Structure 1
């Protein structure tokens, strides 16, 4: 057990750096505007990536419950890849396009903002959880991996699903 924790320690600095750097870089890039039109309309694409990520996460959960470790591993690598793709497209969109204002009114407007704000907060909070969970898996510390995965999975799933909901709610105003 101590050996597994020692293996994890060499990744601690990277986890901290990435957990801080990713949100800061994304926030900084929101202030950068590039006068270019992208060849595709990105919001439905990255919303679809979020939906696919949610499906992959649920399938990966099913795989591990059914003791299909190799499938689980491949699906989790795919989920991380999809999340990185989402982030790149999301930043590219916001660097080349003005933000869309939500135009709904009444109760739905409050629902939209609650989902949007929790989505944003959780998308930042989930970064270290995903990284720690992944490190515990690649260092074969599966008992500690399982413990944090119980937290990481619902957070990550919420971010993926709420991203789709936010897109659906704002899509009439693009």
Structure 2
């Protein structure tokens, strides 16, 4: 046996549902999305929110980095597909505590485009949003799926560094 999949078309929604059911003390699913947010929103009060995400090709990895000193929310796209702008926008709104939201984006064309569109939607609502594009892959300079080097393992370090900064009260500009 290689995998436990009930129905390939439901694999991401079932995985997100399973994570939330297994760890309700840490994760809450944002209604109508495949995005998860910290259950303990009190820990985010007065702090910059952090949102990341991406396609669920290997697994929706970003969901595992939601928590104290890390991400405020993660948006899980479908298999090998970027999350949609509306799902990212919902995550931004869910974590905004009035101090702004910082998005950590991997350098895939769909991720960059959809996070930018979500940023525009949020800014139209008066939410200050900034972002960084992670492009740490030294093995691949260009490919069919990226706008240069991909964002891979280095994204985890960016989650941790910015998560620690936000947890300590750093401002959006800092």
TM-score of the superposition, structure 1-length normalised?
A: 0.27
Q: Compare the two structures and name the one with the higher helix fraction.
A: 1
Structure ranking higher in strand proportion: 2
Q: Which of 1 and 2 has higher RCO (CA within 8 Å, sep 6+)?
A: 1
TM-score of the pair, normalised by structure 2: 0.27
Q: Report which of the two structures shows the higher radius of gyration computed on alpha carbons.
A: 1
